[in-house]
Amino acid sequence: MGYTIRQVAEMVDLTTYTLRYYEKEGLLPFIERNEHGNRVFKDSDIEWIQLVCCLRDTGMSISEIKDYVNLCIEGDKTTELRRQIILDHKLKVEQKIEKMKQSLVKINKKLKCYNDLTISEETDVCNPNYKTNE
């Protein structure tokens, strides 16, 4: 089944402009066009776009994705290199997740301070500008 660019944009939560940009940048090299020159997207194209979105959302640059796409175009001889790129990216994402978890602990600690302050109606010890009478 073929989808229009507008349908795909809605499916993957991107603008049509972004899809055109990704195609122009070489991230969507497999998109076919009909006899009128309109893009016709297949289910496999949508899966590919979802992967590109995933890589972008997790911090991979357009340039890095383009390098990955070019390796895909080269075929089976680049399978191991592509696997390594995805593995390296996975490790970076895991590091970011761990850092975010640590940040969440600090945020929750600060939130607890404010919640406790609200309950006890004490002086605002949560404020970093708070000065004790020492």
DSSP code for 27: S
Query: CATH number for the 5-95 domain, one of 3.90.700.10, 3.90.1010.10, 3.30.450.20, 1.10.1660.10?
Result: 1.10.1660.10
pTM listed for this prediction:
0.80
102 pLDDT band, cuts 50/70/90, is very high
Annotated domain spans of the chain: 5-95
119 pLDDT band, cuts 50/70/90, is low
Q: Give the CA count within 13 Å in the CB-facing half-sphere of 115.
A: 6
Q: Poorest-confidence range of 5-14, 17-26, 35-44, 122-131?
A: 122-131
CA distance 39 to 4: 6
